[in-house]
Amino acid sequence: MPIEDFADFLLEHTGGQLTEVGIGFQFKVALRLMERGREVTAIDWNRDAVEKARELGINAYIDDIFHPSLELYEGSRALYSVRPTPEIIKPILELGRILGTPVFILPLAGDTMPRSMRLVNFRGLAIYTTKPI
């Protein structure tokens, strides 16, 4: 169950542009999505992570999820996050609510997820979503 399987899940359950919130230095999912023809925007507060993402060809921006610049998310059909830190999960969900887009989170094992999210097992990955699957 490689992390890239999360990209396959997103390809099956979403359409259009995707935005990865909190990309950090984990680029595998975004790159796999792009290899399969999907437009991806990556967001992080860490300037070095954003610069590295740009070097890899990912459309990346610096933003503060606690006070998001909504224009960076325009056109996004879904938000996703790979192993986000627990403190940014609620702001990601709030942003999805504001934008009217589904949210998909692949948490770290053992992280507690909000009860409002639905658990989906995909190739052994525990993926949480706000979208009925």
| pLDDT, tens digit, 9 for 90 and up, residues 18-58 | 999 999 999 999 999 999 999 999 999 999 999 999 999 99
Alpha-helix runs per DSSP H in 56-101:
89-99
Domain limits for position 54: 15-111
Integer Cα distance of 133 and 16 in angstroms: 17
* Residue 44, domain member (yes or no): yes
Of 100, 106, 44, 51, which is closest to residue 75 (Cα–Cα)? 100
* Residue 118, domain member (yes or no): no
* Residue 130, domain member (yes or no): no
Specify the pTM.
Answer: 0.95
CATH code of the domain containing 33 = 3.40.50.150
Confidence of residue 133 (pLDDT cuts 50, 70, 90): low
92 in Cβ contact with 65 (< 8 Å):
yes
* Residue 121, domain member (yes or no): no
Rounded mean pLDDT, 106-125: 91
* Residue 120, domain member (yes or no): no
* Residue 6, domain member (yes or no): no
* Residue 43, domain member (yes or no): yes
Total domains in the chain come to 1
* Residue 68, domain member (yes or no): yes
